[in-house]
Amino acid sequence: MTLPFDVSRNGNEATLVIRGSLDINTAPALGEEIDRLVVTRPTKVLVDLVGLDLIDSSGVAALVKLYKAVRAAGGQVTITGARDQPLAIFKLLRMDKVFNL
């Protein structure tokens, strides 16, 4: 199975591009990648959701985990490109306010 995300790092900054579906099947792998990422204590993390078509509660939980861990270490998380079903889920959960969508 191809994972629906890519992580790139540039110094203290990281970019996480998520595409396709972030659900119960793929969120655990993203959670593991988040664990590896936050250990490096990035100061800025950009999460690009323009290619994300579907998200469920486990996917939202993975993004919240990233947000909390980076912020706790003094970093900043920016989430961009949310649209359609993912944006509707973020609004339903009022996470659009947390993520500044």
Flag whether pLDDT at 70 surpasses 60.
yes
The three state secondary structure string of the chain is: CCCCEEEEEECCEEEEEEEEEECCCCHHHHHHHHHHHHHCCCCEEEEEEEEEEEECHHHHHHHHHHHHHHHHCCCEEEEECCCHHHHHHHHHCCHHHHCCC
56-69: average pLDDT: 95
pLDDT 10s digits, 18-55? 999 999 999 999 999 999 999 999 999 999 999 999 99
Domains belonging to the chain, first-starting first, are: 5-98 (3.30.750.24)
State yes or no: pLDDT of 69 exceeds 80.
yes
pTM score: 0.89
What are residue 26's phi and psi, to 5 degrees?
A: -110, -20
Q: Give percent above pLDDT 90 in the chain.
A: 88
